[in-house]
Amino acid sequence: MTDHDVIVIGAGPAGLTAGIYAGRMRLSTLVIEMMMPGGQAAITHLIENYPGVSPLSGAELASRMQEQMESFGAVLVSDTVTGIERTGDHFTVMRGSGPTTARAVVIASGTGYRELGIPGEKEFVGRGVSYCATCDGPFYRDQEVAVVGGGNSALQEALYLTGLVTKVYLIHRRDEFRAHPVLAERVRAHEKIECICSHTVESIEGSGAGVERLNLKPVGEGEKRVLEVPGVFLFVGLKPKTEFLGDLIETNEWGFITAGEDTRTNVPGICAAGDCREKPLRQIATAVGDGATAVFAIERYLDDGEW
């Protein structure tokens, strides 16, 4: 006899969706979240590409998903999962408050930010270096800031910051943005954004008060530049939050779980849903799809052991 039928690790869009589907299947479901329900989506100021409900704030979307999940009986707790062990035909999930058992597990632990690894970055985190515009943007009201990156997150957050600051320098190491064309067009046309392409940030400098300047160097030909800004937002990629799994689950060389579209991992009874899974597109729409698919796979597994 286990404590639960299913344990879901992480309450971002993937985990909350798994909770909705599992609760609705009348499976006893525990969802464990170490930070804030909604995950990365909860800190996104405006979501305009989630079908049917856009545009709305990520916090609002997360709160609606959580409410919907709890209405179907899944229980959300605040705790950190530190490992999973297979014990006979069930799993023991280790967490801060002690072990909890379940017949199946959905890993929906998402991703965290990737660091640039340049001098000054670690030193000035929280004092001018940020990885979250929604959280820290208001500190720079009516000042100039820099954003580093060329993907969707970087461009989206640069646009968000224009509502707060006087100017955004958008620094990207290539000459073309990786982001969706609609975002790239908006960024290039925005009067408050100056794009500094084909440049990287060499170092971040400042004083006890915080960041004061960024030293930029060109990729190939071009001139070095110094930007006098009190804040820099870094959006240079994602790394999966899968270290707590140890060797139990197969991952690729970057740590993303190598489950297929059916979300089944190499361990029968454990599915991987959302951004922590190896996949071509990491968005809310794809995360919720995974959450639903994972419960479909688990339901069949619990029913007849099919994997």
Residues designated catalytic: 132, 135-136
Restricted to residues 49-78, the positions that interact with ligand FAD (CB under 6 A) are 49-50
Cβ proximity to ligand FAD: between 13 and 150 the closer is 13
Euclidean distance between CA atoms 129 and 132, whole angstroms: 9
Amino acid in the structure at residue 133? A
CB closer to ligand FAD out of 5 and 290: 290
Smallest gap from residue 179 Cβ to ligand FAD (A): 11
Identified binder of ligand FAD from the candidate list 244, 256, 294, 297, rule CB under 6 A? 244
Task: Tell me the window of 86-94, 104-112, 179-187, 253-261 that interacts with ligand FAD (CB under 6 A).
Answer: 104-112
**Shortest CB 305 distance to ligand FAD, Å:** 27
Q: Kind of pairing, strands 238-240 and 270-272?
A: unpaired
Rounded to whole angstroms, the Cα distance separating 77 from 93 reads: 13
From CA 108, how far away is CA 290, in angstroms rounded? 9
Range in contact with ligand FAD (rule: CB under 6 A) among 29-37, 201-209, 257-265, 294-302: 29-37
Span of 105-113, 180-188, 202-210, 247-255 interacting with ligand FAD by CB under 6 A: 105-113
The answer to whether 153 contacts ligand FAD (rule: CB under 6 A) is: yes
How many CB atoms are closer than 10 A to CB 220? 6
Burial 154-178 (b: 16+ CB within 10 A, else e): bbbbbbbbbebbeebbbbbeeeebe
Residues 175-214 that bind ligand FAD (CB under 6 A): none
Nearest distance, CB of residue 137 and ligand FAD, angstroms: 11
Cβ closer to ligand FAD: 30 or 216?
30
240 part of the interface to ligand FAD, by CB under 6 A = no
Q: What are the tokens at 272?
A: 């991987």
Q: What is the C-alpha separation between 291 and 102, in angstroms, rounded?
A: 17
Total interface residues for ligand FAD by CB under 6 A: 36
CA–CA distance, 198 with 145 (Å, rounded to integer): 18
Residue 152 CB, nearest approach to ligand FAD (Å): 7
Among 2, 57, 63, 283, binds ligand FAD (CB under 6 A): 283
Q: How far is the CB of 27 from ligand FAD (least distance, A)?
A: 19
Stretch that binds ligand FAD, among 34-42, 143-151, 180-188, 252-260 (CB under 6 A): 34-42
Q: How far apart are CA 116 and CA 265, in angstroms?
A: 31
Of positions 24, 25, 34, 194, contacts ligand FAD by CB under 6 A? 34
Contact footprint for ligand FAD (CB under 6 A) = 9-15, 32-35, 39-41, 44, 47, 49-50, 80-81, 108-111, 153, 156-157, 241, 244, 274-275, 282-285, 287
